[in-house]
Amino acid sequence: MSTLRVSHDESPAVCTIGPSLEELQSLAAIGVEAVPTLCISKETLHRIAVANNLEEKLKAIWEETVPHHSQKSLQGISAKVTTVFERIHIPDDISNILLKHVHGHFETSYLNVYASSFSFTHAEYCHENVHGDANLVHSIMTIWQKLSSDYIRQIRHTFTTEMVVPDSIIIQQSYAAKASGVAYTKHPLTEDKTQIVIRSIQGIQSLKDQFEKTDTFTIDTRTWNVINTKKSTQTIGFTQKPDGFATFALSPAKQDEISLNQDQAVTLAHIIRKIKLKFPQHKKIWWQLYENRFIILGLRTFEVFKPEVVLKKHKSLTKVLVIADGLSEVTSANDGIGLLKGDYFLTEMGVHPLFLIKGKHANTYLDSVTKKIQATLNKQLDPFTLYQPSQYTSNEFKMLLHGNNFELDEENPFLGFRGASRTYLHPEIFQFELHLCLRLLENYKNTFGLNLSWVRTPNELVFLIEKIKKQGLFEQKNFQAWWQITTPENILNLDAYPLENISGIVINIETLTELSLGIDPKNYELLYHYGVSTPFMEKIMASIKKQLESKNLPPDFQVFVLNPYYNNSITRTTVELGFNGVIVGSDNVAAVHEQICDTESNTLTNALHSLLKDIKLHQLSP
């Protein structure tokens, strides 16, 4: 890794910027290939800022907006900061060295650009597959502008250099990979240190995405045998395109292929083992397979759950809950599981659930699913779990064995039979999951919620609640029914939804954005182009809060925000609106908790400043 630090001889110098990049740089010493990386240092960014009087211009924006503390003034920050950055000029000596280094040291012309604080999770701070010198400079400026906007929007009472100059900006090689994924130096669920787990897909995987539907390989490092392989059908592939990805449908033959053969999985496991021996902490590692070479993109430490450590942590008022499937690191969650995905457990055998539910092995199937979920819940010492019934679409179910016998052909399955409407089509699956909840509640003594999503009308919510009542779940003291707001209709018609039996709601930020913009969530190219419409979603969240306040709900009614890819503006708004919690991917728990504590502190400080100002004005009044 090189760091662009312009000195008198105008040559890049090598140094370490942050522990993650330092670890990446050190892999060469153990014979592990890491992605070519260029770090634009804080010193170089400061030179650019000075050359453009950036501090003076951003301070003027801060002085115009922050002291007023009004939502209206804050909403205009991003546009004002964008205008400033559109006029920034990178000095010729810096741009010449930057482009010379990129052209001379990077293997292909596609690049990934992200902030040093990105850590493979902050989507708004990352531009992928950037192509061309102009796009590279634009990406650097756009990421810098977003960082500055967010710092100013935190309503700090002191103007700081953090608002002007970030720690660093990273440029990495982007590959047209044959396969990509993540690997763990120990089993992330069982914590078995003798096993390495690899999750893999065919082709390129976005750095900004969580890995959900992946092929999974478990390798025993004592024998170097692949002791478990799970094939997941992949229907969409990605190809490189400037400033994003283009998607294409995989042929049926490609869908049946596995992303790595066993020899490749074992080869990668040996590489992961080398990394494991180098670092004392266990690592989660991002990798790609390119021209028969495994290349490491990044790595980070993942924590083992220790109750005595968690108890010492500062607890925020706003809860941080984690999304969990069979391989999620749920042990890192502070306040519980906010989204326990039923799909993973119901379909892990690769067979359509109805075939098993209607067959002679229905009880065995129920026992198997119950034990697998209990294994996840037993890791959680926190007081809450929210289970989401199966959300698979008809085409996803059709990929399973015997799926064609039970599923309809739908032109747009995402907007078809799912959630409540699927209960009309296949009531047996929802009934099975209600029975499953009863079985889980026999041993799980903490609060257990059932999250009802894709409910399109008030009558559908009533229909589902009646089914839950008939199953006897409301008689269980630790059971709760929750409702997930997923469609624009849910918001516009919120007053009509009966919430007497509902303990809380989840606001699904991602799906609401997609449907509000008229985007099919399976159209990845459009998704990457638009992303989460933050100002719009902030208005939606405020509207939901106002409507709920008018419904005379009980004091213990809760609102969580599902923010899977950690949009930090959405997290901040969650705290400012006084919602109860945010649900994020396991990779983001620590960062979200830190931001929440910071935002809560700022919000309290602002309230105290306003109170003192009011007292002073009152004292001065005649």
pTM value > 0.75: no
What three-state secondary structure class fits 292?
Answer: coil
The pLDDT of residue 19: 45
Paired sense of beta strands 319-324 and 581-584, if any: parallel
If pLDDT is split at 50, 70 and 90, which confidence band does 615 have? low
Architecture of domain 2-173: 2-Layer Sandwich (3.30)
pLDDT in tens, 333-376: 468 889 888 888 888 778 888 888 988 888 888 998 888 888 77
Q: Name residue 212's amino acid.
A: E
Q: Where in the chain is the domain with CATH 3.30.470.20?
A: 179-301
Q: Give yes or no for a contact between 46 and 8, defined as CB atoms under 8 angstroms apart.
A: no
The pLDDT of residue 525: 56
Q: Give yes or no for a contact between 433 and 343, defined as CB atoms under 8 angstroms apart.
A: no
Q: Answer yes or no: is pLDDT of 503 > 70.
A: yes
The more confident residue out of 210 and 285 is: 285
As to burial, measured by CB atoms within 10 angstroms (0-12 exposed, 13-18 middle, 19+ buried), residue 52 is middle
Q: Answer yes or no: is pLDDT of 217 > 90.
A: yes
If pLDDT is split at 50, 70 and 90, which confidence band does 454 have? very high
Q: Answer yes or no: is pLDDT of 560 > 90.
A: yes
The pLDDT of residue 78: 72
The pLDDT of residue 41: 84
Question: Across all residues in the chain, what is the average pLDDT?
Answer: 80
The pLDDT of residue 472: 93
User: Which residues make Cβ contacts (< 8 Å) with residue 409, sequence separation at least 6?
Assistant: 394
Per the structure block, which two tokens stand in for 372? 């697998």
Alpha carbons 144 and 161: distance in angstroms, whole number: 13
Architecture of domain 318-590: Alpha-Beta Barrel (3.20)
SS3 of 106-168: the string is CCCCEEEEEECCCCCCCHHHEEEEEECHHHHHHHHHHHHHHHHHHHHHCCCCCCCHHHCCCCC
As to burial, measured by CB atoms within 10 angstroms (0-12 exposed, 13-18 middle, 19+ buried), residue 273 is middle
Please compute, for residue 204, the number of CA atoms within 13 A of its CA located in the half-sphere on the CB side.
21
The pLDDT of residue 476: 92
Q: Where in the chain is the domain with CATH 3.30.1490.20?
A: 2-173
User: Which residues make Cβ contacts (< 8 Å) with residue 562, sequence separation at least 6?
Assistant: 338, 339, 484, 506, 507, 508, 509, 510, 583
Q: Name residue 99's amino acid.
A: L
Q: Where in the chain is the domain with CATH 3.20.20.60?
A: 318-590
Q: Mean pLDDT throughout 11-17?
A: 32
The least confident of 52-66, 177-191, 503-517 is 52-66
Beta bridge pairs of residue 347: none
**Which DSSP string do the residues of 317-379 spell out, in sequence order?**
SSEEEEEE-TTS-GGG-SS-EEEEEHHHHHHTTSB-HHHHHSSTTHHHHHHHHHHHHHHHHTT
The pLDDT of residue 277: 92
* Secondary-structure percent of the chain, ordered helix, strand, coil, rounded to 5: 45, 20, 35
The pLDDT of residue 38: 86
The pLDDT of residue 558: 95
The pLDDT of residue 582: 93
The pLDDT of residue 81: 83
Q: Give the residue among 126, 130, 205 at the shortest CA–CA distance from 567.
A: 126
Alpha carbons 382 and 554: distance in angstroms, whole number: 23
Alpha carbons 577 and 561: distance in angstroms, whole number: 11
Q: Mean pLDDT throughout 235-263?
A: 77
Q: Give the residue among 92, 97, 300, 311 at the shortest CA–CA distance from 188.
A: 300
Give, to the nearest 10 degrees, the angle between helix 133-153 and helix 92-105. 120
Q: Mean pLDDT throughout 261-274?
A: 95
Protein fold of 179-301: D-amino Acid Aminotransferase; Chain A, domain 1 (3.30.470)
**Top mean-pLDDT range of 220-224, 306-310, 520-524:** 220-224
User: Which residues make Cβ contacts (< 8 Å) with residue 132, sequence separation at least 6?
Assistant: 109, 242
Alpha carbons 485 and 342: distance in angstroms, whole number: 18
The more confident residue out of 125 and 492 is: 492
Q: Give the residue among 450, 426, 557, 549 at the shortest CA–CA distance from 494.
A: 549
Q: Mean pLDDT throughout 186-197?
A: 85
**Buried/exposed code over 396-423 (b: 16+ C-beta within 10 A; e: otherwise):** bbbbbebbeebbeeeeebbebbbbbebb
pLDDT in tens, 455-467: 999 999 999 999 9
Alpha carbons 350 and 216: distance in angstroms, whole number: 13
Q: Answer yes or no: is pLDDT of 66 > 70.
A: no
The pLDDT of residue 14: 30
pLDDT in tens, 132-148: 888 888 888 888 888 88
pLDDT in tens, 404-447: 888 888 887 778 888 888 888 889 999 999 999 999 998 888 89
Q: Give yes or no for a contact between 392 and 418, defined as CB atoms under 8 angstroms apart.
A: yes
> H or E stretch including 484?
strand 479-485
